[in-house]
Every structure is written in C-alpha cells, then in structure tokens.
Amino acid sequence: MPLTVMQAMAAVEGFSIKGSRAQRNNNPGNLDFVSWMAAYGAKLETIPHGFNEAPRFAAFPSPEQGWDAMRALLSDDYCGLSVTEALNKWAPPVENQTNVYIATVCKLTGLAPDATLTTELLE
C-alpha cells in the first residue's frame, strides 16, 4: 500500500529512525523553527550534549503536534505545486540531494513527479 505524501516525506527525513533528529524533536518533516509553530507547542530544539549540531529545527511536545504543523504548512504553502516543485522548495538543492528526495517520495507514494499536491494526497 503506498504511503501518503506526508508519510513519505517523514520517511525521507528519518522520522522512523530511533534517535534521529526528527524523532528527538517529534518533528516528522524536520521543520525549521519559526514563531507560528508556537501555536503547535513548538520551541527551538535543544541539542543533546555531545552532538555537534546547531539548534535550527522545531521541537514539538508530541508527534501529533509535529504532524499537525507539517500538515498546516504543506496545506497552506505547497498544495497546487507539483511534487517536484514542492520538494525543491521543501528540501532545496543547496542543502539536500533533492533529486533523490523526489525519487524516493514518488516511489513510496506511487505519484509522478509532475503530480499536483492536494490536501487529499497529504494524508
């Protein structure tokens, strides 16, 4: 059974990997922290001692709140874009292997790269 777009994106972000940054932060989309996320209980992540990372991402109190924030952002700013357009915006090539991200999401969802994102495809 194919995954939803959100599930596929969370898989690429490593949300199911024990101890991953996405999992530690209850942040399935690895969303960068911005102030509007406080409505979902988010704060700027704290980095565990010994990790060589700079705080950047949102940390949510629960996975459900992380999913809710991801859904809100995708619904508001990404619906109507093609999968390729959306993932180039979400995971820009200047800091990601976006072509691999797109190919993986398409494989996991069964969508074509030129498929248009809709709220129905998100979840």
pLDDT tens, 99-114?
Answer: 999 999 999 999 999 9
Q: Domain for residue 12, yes or no?
A: yes
Q: Domain for residue 19, yes or no?
A: yes
Q: Dig out the tokens for 58 from the structure.
A: 């949102």
Alpha-carbon torsion, ordered 92, 109, 40, 54, to 10 deg: -40
Nearest to 45 by CA among 76, 73, 20: 20
Residue 60 to residue 93: CA distance in whole angstroms: 26
Q: Domain for residue 123, yes or no?
A: no
Q: Domain for residue 112, yes or no?
A: no
Q: Domain for residue 51, yes or no?
A: yes
Which residues, 6 or more positions from 54, have their beta carbon under 8 angstroms from its beta carbon?
47
SS3 59: strand
> pLDDT tens for residues 59-91?
999 999 999 999 999 999 999 999 999 999 999
Q: Domain for residue 45, yes or no?
A: yes
Q: Domain for residue 107, yes or no?
A: no
Number of domains in the chain: 1
Q: Domain for residue 113, yes or no?
A: no
Q: Dig out the tokens for 25 from the structure.
A: 């932060």
Range of the domain at 24: 5-79
The CB-side HSE value for 79 (13 A sphere, CA atoms) comes to: 13
Q: What is the mean pLDDT of residues 42-53?
A: 84
